[in-house]
A and B are shown apart, each in its own frame.
Chain A
Amino acid sequence: EAQLVESGGGLVQPGDSLRLSCAASGFAFRSYWMTWVRRAPGKGLEWVADIKDDGREKYYVDSVKGRFTISRDNAKNSLYLQMNSLRAEDTAVYYCALLLAGYWGPGTLVTVSS
């Protein structure tokens, strides 16, 4: 059974950095594009970033460009999101997802507050 599990969330101050991880199992992780999506409190879903199966193509929503970096390690079946210069508006539950198959993790909460 396919499974995605995020980790690394927490409470940080504005300007801090955080690295989210997503451990994948039960499917051929190296064969698929992977995605990060977030949901801010009281708001809707927002696509954040995508990465190609081999890691060579990456795409971001404008609001995180230059601050967030998506990456992956296919040998470890893991997806990452390096988040720098965090802002209050980055506060959200972050999900990793294989959109093609509808697999989502349970999410990890990132809170940016002083």
Chain B
Amino acid sequence: DIVMTQSPLSLSVTPGEPASISCRSSQSLLNSNGYNSLDWYVLKPGQSPHLLIYLGSNRPTGVPDKFSGSGSGADFTLTISRVEADDVGVYYCLQTLQTPYTFGQGTRLEIK
């Protein structure tokens, strides 16, 4: 199974400041089409998971451009350029290269 390791596991950020979350996989997530099978989600209290980034660096329609994904192979980063109070939640990376699909442990984002 592919192991996904996130860091840090918790983050406290001042509004307006940037935040970055790292996600490392135990093997490359590059698929046969040349894309990275890595998605980022946020889980906010009382809600279902919300997709922020797909295939490593693509933002779905409607996701603010303050969210960006970077990286390739086995090393990925989610960056929030300016954190706002509404960004509070738990952020997860997910690999969909092979089953069992596996999530990172989650990174809890708090506002200072």
- Residues of A bordering B, CB below 8 Å: 35, 37, 39, 44-47, 50, 59-62, 95, 97, 99, 102, 104-107
Contact = CB atoms under 8 A, between A and B. Distances in A.
B51 A50 contact: no
Contacts, number: 48
Interface of B: 39, 41, 43, 48-51, 54, 60, 90, 92, 94, 96, 99-106
B92 A62 contact: no
8 contacts: A44-B104, A44-B105, A47-B94, A59-B100, A97-B49, A99-B96, A102-B39, A102-B51
A46 B100 CA distance: 10
B48 A47 contact: no
A59 B99 CA distance: 7
Nearest to B62: A102
Nearest to A63: B100
Contacts of A35: 101
